[in-house]
Amino acid sequence: MSYRPSPSGWVRDQVAAIEAAGDTRAASIMDRAVVLLTMTGRKSGDTLKVPLMRVEHDGTYAAVASKGGAPDNPQWYYNLLANPDITVQDGTDVHAVHARVIEGEERAHWWELCVAAFPPYAEYQAGTDRTIPVFVLERR
């Protein structure tokens, strides 16, 4: 599998900055910390990387498929459904994790943590008819 950079310029730039520094602190989104997810493309089999807002609680991470409140899910959402065993980089630490979509009370709990980490998530949810998916990323 070869690494395929994102078609999105800001994603490519952030991934390049993180990789050059070896540290996710080299990038941010709206001045907030990010983590870097490395996954396998569901169609291509390529290695794909995406920086997401850092949402962490007791060593477990969340990944919010907000796409800025768009009516559809980001492409990485489908990659995680198809290939849930990924890595997450936080700072210089890289962890093998399993991504699992959460619902109900578990999602409600994590949603509060997600909004606390990045308040615009609440606006994103209010602006779309879909329930924004949340994954927990549990260490393998």
Residue 131 inside a domain? The answer is yes
Output the domain CATH number for residue 43.
2.30.110.10
pLDDT in tens, 15-74: 999 999 999 999 999 999 999 999 999 999 999 999 999 999 999 999 999 999 999 999
Angle 127-39-8 from CA coordinates, rounded to 5°: 55
Q: What is the CA radius of gyration of the chain?
A: 14
Residue 1 inside a domain? The answer is no
Residue 119 inside a domain? The answer is yes
Residue 54 inside a domain? The answer is yes
- CB distance 88 to 53 below 8 Å: no
At 26 the pLDDT is: 98
**Integer Cα distance of 81 and 64 in angstroms:** 13
pLDDT in tens, 75-118: 999 999 999 999 999 999 999 999 999 999 999 999 999 999 99
Residue 3 inside a domain? The answer is no
Residue 4 inside a domain? The answer is no
Number of domains forming the structure of the chain = 1
Question: What is the domain extent for residue 107?
Answer: 9-139
The pTM score is 0.96
Angle 57-61-67 from CA coordinates, rounded to 5°: 125
At 1 the pLDDT is: 67
Residue 55 inside a domain? The answer is yes
Residue 47 inside a domain? The answer is yes
**Integer Cα distance of 95 and 90 in angstroms:** 8
